[in-house]
Structure 1
Amino acid sequence: MASPIMISISHQLGRAEARRRIAGGFSKIVNLLPGSRGASSEHWDGDRLIFSVATLGQTVSGVIEVMDATVTMEIELPGILRVIASGLTNRLQKMGQLLLTRK
């Protein structure tokens, strides 16, 4: 099994605002996954968003952890989706930065 995608994004919003933005923008993150029009589940455990998304007949699962000055994403890509990991990492990094940019 390959290592999960690990992404860390710094922010200056504080934990509560960063969590609010991640919660509000989670659908944008999910839409970056190819074929992600399938079912998804998500729930918060404190400041950790635990999720799974059906995409291309497989399940992508992960955790987004919101901290005071950083948001980290750990995403497990199954099977064939591992070959797109680097491109997906870049897109997820950019989307995360957009969500966490001070407005």
Structure 2
Amino acid sequence: MTQSVEVDLNHNLGREEARRRIAGNIGSLPEHLPGNVADVAHRWEGDTLKLTLGAMGQEVLGDIDVREDSVHVTVTLPPMLALFAGAIQAALNRKGSDLLLEDRSDD
């Protein structure tokens, strides 16, 4: 059975700025995830970023729903990775807001 992990990340950026920052930082996502993430595919559906991650030979699905004052992250783990749900939730709580940081690569 799959296991879902959900986290809310509060911000005061507004929806458009939060969406812009997430779009600018999504390429660094594998650096912030535990385990060996081999592949990340993503697409926007309105204000929701749909993710498919290849990790440990498994497919992990994620949604990042950008709201005016928060970001709601849902990660759906396949049965073989459900054991890591607690570690993934802790990592999202600790490092998830890094996706909302200003991209400083142009400085």
TM over 0.5: yes
Cα offset for 1:101?
5.7
Matched, 1:86 2:56: no
* Segment drifting more, 7-16 vs 76-85: 76-85
Is this contact kept in 1: 2:37–2:53, CA < 8 A?
yes
Q: What is the RMSD computed on CA atoms of the aligned residues?
A: 2.0
Query: What does 1:67-78 correspond to in 2, within 5 Å?
Result: 67-78=67-78
| Aligned residue pairs, count | 102
SS of equivalent residue, structure 1 residue 9: strand
Q: 2:50 maps to which residue?
A: 50
- Unpaired stretches in structure 1, ≥5 consecutive residues: none
For normalisation by structure 2, the TM-score amounts to 0.83
State the Cα distance separating 1:25 from its structure 2 match.
Answer: 1.9
Any stretches of 5+ residues in structure 2 without a counterpart?
103-107
Greater fraction strand? 2
Contact 1:33-1:55 within 8 A present in 2 as well: no
Question: Percentage identity across aligned positions?
Answer: 33
